[in-house]
Structure 1
Amino acid sequence: MSNSNELTRWEKIVGLVFAGIIMAVLITFIFSPPQEVNNLTAVIISFFIAAAAGYSGYLFSGKIEGVLPFSKAVIKASGASATFLIVFILTLNFLQDYKQPTDFDRDDVEPLSPTPEVSLSFGDSYFLKAGGSAQALELKESAVENFSRYLAGKGDNFDGLYLAQEEFERYLGDYRSASADSEISGEQITPNPNDPEARIYLNNVLTEIKAQNAERQVLKLVVAVPIAVDPDFSAEVLRGIAQAQYELLQSPEILKGALLEVGIADDKDDAEVAKELARKVANPESSIIATVGHYSTNLTKEVLDIYNTNKKILISPTATGIELSRDDISYFFRTATSDAVAAKQLAEHIQTYGIDIGNISVAYVYGDSYGESLSKSFFGNKRPASQCDLGKRGYNAQNDCVDPAVQNDANAFLLIPSSNDIVDEAIDIITAIGEEIKLLGGDSLYQPEIGQTAIIAEQASASRLTIAIPWHRKGCNSLNDNDNFEQLACDLWAGNNISWRSATAYDAVQVVTKAISDEYDESELESITPDASKLADRMRDPEFNAVGATGTISFLGTGDRKDTEEIGVLVQFKVVEESGEESRVSSPETVEKYDFVQI
């Protein structure tokens, strides 16, 4: 006769399973302890440990049959439930507070992730080092050093100020008493007029001189760009800022006699750096009237709440993601159109070829805000023919993107590289795709790399690569009297060396200065620093408008730019006719010239 207290076969099996789980957890925590345990992991581990304890309670409770006036089943169920609940609560509390034990107090040591260093300069340091000779760079360094000494001396070193002016002008080719070549250390120097950083610093030098001579108030604006990772894109943005500042110097009545100095910040396309910059320039004690930036949607969304909480204006010329459209944010604006506008234009264009949206493939970096924004806006509720991740480890354009598109009978391909370092992956698709598949692109694909080699240029042209951008240049030989922005750009930048990023950055300054001019009179601007709350309210006013390079600018309640016929164009990459003007993207390997042409 068997003993009623002996374990059944299934009870033994369950006991072994739970014992194995407990052993696995103990071995993990002894030999490879995690730094901490997230909530989901804590719940799972607590459940299994509590289940094992509850099972033990179930078995033990069966031993006391007859002691309590209940049936064996009730006693076992009660013991198991009570044990499970108690152990689950205790284990969960322990794991949620768990951190890897150490033999020292972490508060007594330096943090593993120190506060990132923010590089912000009004002319006392510089970032752009390309585009000129070594001798020219030496001249720029000297100019920066002299201006830095003036700034450090709180305005006492006027000799350094005027010397910095002369050296910046020589570097840029503005020095009127010099020939086309300037001299330093006995050597001829070829000017570098396309350096927007030097132009901004020269503008700051001239602003200091005018402020001293006329006792005018100097207002300060910061532009944040990812110079360390995208120097070319950053330079395009800085050209627009520099040109707007230059115009204010030439026509001080625009800002009712007040002057504007610009600081350049390198956010390194890093969220932590961008946040630290925001905390620095957007704190209540800061004299910065507005920040122009950031370049990407990813970075911009990370700092929105910092600017909004501190009631400081952030205006982006390039971030287009739809997730930035928020009714709860009062201090964010953008002069570029949102991805919803670009998606609509691209969809309408591709349908002229008789191609349905569902027959289009897409490539972007999974998890990237900009890529997901444009893709979602373009496809809506439809599924793409195929999709691939440009940021995938071991990425191969043919295997990961082109072959699936062909297998799913795609008639077109939408390319959305997230940043400059991902553009090569998108270009690989251009070279691998057949010309029967049409190509579409987000604004990040608008860059000279498309035409730097014959095979890329020819394939992009054959596939009719079409990109949606906020604005497109006409070219120095095709301007009329109303093209003021481009006319000055052709003079300042040794040819039409600008892009849509330059135009929308220029517009960002126009918006800020117009709001100041609307809200303050000349006597107030002699001593009062404009209040960001008043400026933001003015910019959100339905009656507000500013005239910029891209047309008339006004805003919705979300800070998005109002959609007008003036803003948003399609450009197509194609062979251009000879016009007496060198194409910016002509291929050195072919006699044909290619460029983006507005359609």
Structure 2
Amino acid sequence: MSRKNETVLLLLSLLITLGLVGGGALLFSNFFGKSFVGIGNQSNSTPTDGTSATGKPISFGEKTLFSGKILPAKQEGIEAIAARNWSVATEKLQVALTQNRNDPETLIFLNNAKIGDRKSYAIAVVVPTGTSPNGSLEVLRGVAQAQTETNQTGNINGVPLKVAIVNDNNQEDQAQQVASTLVNTSEILAVIGHWASQVTLAVAPIYDEGKLVAISPVSTSVKLSGISPYIFRTVPSDYIAARALANYMLTNLQQKNAAVFFNPQSAYSQSLKSEFVTAVLLGGGKVTSEFDLSDPSFSPANSINQAIKQGAKVLMLAPNTGSSTSIIDKALQVVQVNRRRLQLLGGDAIYNSTTLEVAGDAAVNMVVAIPWDIDTDPKSQFVRQSRQFWGAEVNWRTALAYNATKALTAAMQKSPTREGIQQTLTSNDFSTPGAANPVQFLPSGDSNAPVQLVQVVRQVNTSTGYDFVPVRQ
């Protein structure tokens, strides 16, 4: 394929990606053949710079941290919270939630308004509302669902849970400022966050020094393992995901040669690539070549041809998500140009509706490692409850943010202090029910849970014509 045609593919991929990102936040659309929840029907523009009315990047409800349009009832509820008029805030936010049940920020603000000035225990959830609004909503749904369940079922020894939403834009400098603010806000007992692995790595020393627990539902880099006794995560590390992919390649596909596409500038991408290479080598296979998706001169066609010449039978894609879509776009170009000649494997960044929309038939049979899939146990209590909450099906980020919140509330049941939470989570016997498996932590702070392999298949009853379904092994 010529470089001109590759450029056309890239532009088409980018246009579709931008369309999905731009429109996905405003529409109740279809996600992997499942109902995906977006911000939904909103009006009245309320721009935000990611900071609260107090000047701090924290909001208990006095300001939205999402840019764009907002329902009038929600705006009135926010203004009532800022004025500490709890009854009006509760009334208006309840109306807003009825008008748009899929907005977790509204639900969190409503829960906080119901608490008002009463004694409560507070946690913060840090999400990149400015750069990844849809991903932020996925995380917030898990937190909002767990907060609601906690406050409706006896609270934490009679004390309700209050949640602050914080924006760090997935930027290291801003995240470090956020972490310092949270450490110095005595009201905050623990943190759920952050997003990208390199961001969590950047803030880990701050939480460690401030002795404040942070649980990430998203960051997977192996460099986070054991980095601090205050850093935990409910998402399995890249060590687990890479070994699942390598085992599938060596055992199920009966292939021993692979080529890897990754971004060396991303801690997550670099981690997944390195762990995959190691796992393949330990299993008797080899990685014949590695390709840098961030290289300006990167050519999908040339890279695939080179991989084939060097004997590769499998292409493993380890792109990263972030504020730029170019890395994902290039990875999807690889899928398109490959045209199913070589078997495809991928990390969790590939697991999104854009892959199905852009890659289409070229992605069929691609296997992706993710932490959790709703179809693995569709009758579980969490799945049933999440459908009742959101009127749709949620993904792994929601499930693992739910797990993080449940872990913190369980720890608070035993000791509602910063030190007590840390000691409870690190105890050998800590375990609490989660979205699927019990939430437990290894001494390294890592999640003691497996990953799920899913595969792209044709699915006629979906908007894209394709879906991710669990690989049955």
Fold similarity call, TM over 0.5? yes
Q: Which residue of 2 aligns with 1:571?
A: 454
Q: For the residues of structure 2 that align with 1:423 and 1:442, how far apart are their CA atoms?
A: 11
Q: Which residue of 2 aligns with 1:534?
A: 420
If you compute each CA radius of gyration, which structure gives the higher value, 1 or 2? Answer: 1
Matched, 1:432 2:337: yes
Matched, 1:288 2:188: yes
Matched, 1:355 2:255: yes
- In the alignment, residue 386 of structure 2 is paired with which amino acid? A
Provide, for residues 549-589 of structure 1, a one-character-per-residue CA deviation record: whole Å limited to 9, x for no partner: 031121121111224xxx321111112365xxxx4xx31xx
- In the alignment, residue 457 of structure 2 is paired with which amino acid? K
Q: Which residue of 2 aligns with 1:316?
A: 216
> TM-score by structure 2 length?
0.82
Q: For the residues of structure 2 that align with 1:514 and 1:296, how far apart are their CA atoms?
A: 26
* Contact 1:221/1:261 (8 A) holds in 2: yes
Q: Which residue of 2 aligns with 1:515?
A: 411
Please state how far the C-alpha of 1:170 moved relative to its aligned partner: 1.9
SS at match of 1:380: helix
* Contact 2:59/2:65 (8 A) holds in 1: no
Provide, for residues 408-462 of structure 1, a one-character-per-residue CA deviation record: whole Å limited to 9, x for no partner: 2321111111114232221111111131211111112111111224xx121111x
Q: For the residues of structure 2 that align with 1:138 and 1:402, how far apart are their CA atoms?
A: 52
Q: For the residues of structure 1 that align with 2:315 and 2:305, how far apart are their CA atoms?
A: 12
Matched, 1:249 2:157: no
Deviates more, 1:401-410 or 1:262-271: 401-410
1:166-185 aligned within 5 A: 166-173=91-98
Q: For the residues of structure 1 that align with 2:89 and 2:417, how far apart are their CA atoms?
A: 32
Alignment counterpart, residue 59 of structure 2, candidates 121, 126, 138: 121
Please state how far the C-alpha of 1:221 moved relative to its aligned partner: 0.7
Alignment counterpart, residue 389 of structure 2, candidates 469, 488, 492: 492
* Contact 1:118/1:273 (8 A) holds in 2: no
| Number of residue pairs matched by the alignment | 408
1:248-397 aligned within 5 A: 248-253=150-155, 255-283=156-184, 286-326=186-226, 329-351=228-250, 352-356=252-256, 359-380=257-278, 382=281, 384-397=287-300
* Contact 1:542/1:554 (8 A) holds in 2: no
Q: Structure 1: any 5+ residue segments left out of the alignment?
A: 1-116, 151-157, 174-190, 520-529, 588-592
* Contact 2:67/2:130 (8 A) holds in 1: no
Matched, 1:503 2:403: no
Q: Which residue of 1 aligns with 2:433?
A: 547
Provide, for residues 447-500 of structure 1, a one-character-per-residue CA deviation record: whole Å limited to 9, x for no partner: 1111224xx121111xx111111111029xx843xx12111111111211x110
SS at match of 1:547: coil
* Contact 2:403/2:435 (8 A) holds in 1: yes
Q: Structure 2: any 5+ residue segments left out of the alignment?
A: 1-54
> TM-score by structure 1 length?
0.65
* Contact 2:430/2:440 (8 A) holds in 1: yes
Q: Which residue of 1 aligns with 2:369?
A: 468
* Contact 2:300/2:337 (8 A) holds in 1: yes
* Contact 1:118/1:266 (8 A) holds in 2: no
Please state how far the C-alpha of 1:394 moved relative to its aligned partner: 4.7
User: Relative to structure 1, is the Cα distance of residues 343 and 140 closer, same or farther in structure 2, using a 3 angstrom cutoff?
Assistant: same
Q: For the residues of structure 2 that align with 1:331 and 1:479, how far apart are their CA atoms?
A: 33
Please state how far the C-alpha of 1:118 moved relative to its aligned partner: 5.5
- In the alignment, residue 245 of structure 1 is paired with which amino acid? Q
User: Relative to structure 1, is the Cα distance of residues 369 and 143 closer, same or farther in structure 2, using a 3 angstrom cutoff?
Assistant: same
Task: Give the % identical residues.
Answer: 30
- In the alignment, residue 183 of structure 2 is paired with which amino acid? A
Please state how far the C-alpha of 1:375 moved relative to its aligned partner: 0.9
1:18-417 aligned within 5 A: 119-129=57-67, 137-150=71-84, 158=85, 161-173=86-98, 191-208=99-116, 212=118, 217-253=119-155, 255-283=156-184, 286-326=186-226, 329-351=228-250, 352-356=252-256, 359-380=257-278, 382=281, 384-399=287-302, 401-417=303-319
* Contact 1:325/1:560 (8 A) holds in 2: yes
SS at match of 1:261: strand
Pairwise CA RMSD of aligned residues? 2.0
Please state how far the C-alpha of 1:511 moved relative to its aligned partner: 0.6
Alignment counterpart, residue 443 of structure 1, candidates 348, 354, 365: 348
Provide, for residues 8-59 of structure 1, a one-character-per-residue CA deviation record: whole Å limited to 9, x for no partner: xxxxxxxxxxxxxxxxxxxxxxxxxxxxxxxxxxxxxxxxxxxxxxxxxxxx
* Contact 1:361/1:413 (8 A) holds in 2: yes
SS at match of 2:246: helix
Q: For the residues of structure 2 that align with 1:240 and 1:516, how far apart are their CA atoms?
A: 18
- In the alignment, residue 192 of structure 1 is paired with which amino acid? N
Higher RCO, 1 or 2 (CA under 8 Å, sep at least 6)? 2
User: Relative to structure 1, is the Cα distance of residues 269 and 457 closer, same or farther in structure 2, using a 3 angstrom cutoff?
Assistant: same
